[in-house]
Amino acid sequence: MFKIGDKIPAFSVKDHKGRNFNSQDFIGKKFLVLYFYPKSFTRGCTKEAKEFKITEHTFQYFDAEVFGISSDSVKKQQAFHEQLELTFPLLSDPKGEIAQQLGVKKHAFGLVGGRETLVFDKKGILRMRFRQLEVLGHVEKALDVVKELYNEE
């Protein structure tokens, strides 16, 4: 099980534009916020994406990059990104390999993708894991941890 204090594994996935995202590119540079969500275009996932969009500039101020990630295809991620006019990348994990590697658990007897937010420090160490099917709380908790990490520097 991937837990607090573990280092982010090396992985590469495609973003909503088909570009490569490499987990190791942020080590030593930025705090990394990965929020996993079940499915694009659903009510809860749309609300969560909008909340991260509204606060993205604050995350950036505190030296953090936000990425949404789900099992949706690159094409579906692109459509979701465009419809909501998101300002941060969405990552495609179609086989759920990254979610599994990072210990993101599915909901509803394994039928629904997980909703979980992970915050990594600049060394790539997991500093926060927040798992809750409800949308509320993910942005606030992640931002609180990022602010703490920023102030520790």
Task: Name the DSSP letter for residue 6.
Answer: P
Dihedral angle sign, alpha carbons of residues 93, 98, 100, 103: negative
Instruction: Count the neighbouring beta carbons within 10 Å of the beta carbon of residue 129.
Output: 17
How far apart, in whole angstroms, are the C-alpha atoms of residue 80 and residue 18? Answer: 14
Of the candidates 8, 13, 34, 45, the residue annotated as catalytic is 45
21 catalytic, yes or no? no
Token digits of residue 43: 């009510």
Q: Which helix (H) or strand (E) holds 70?
A: strand 64-70
Residues that are catalytic: 45
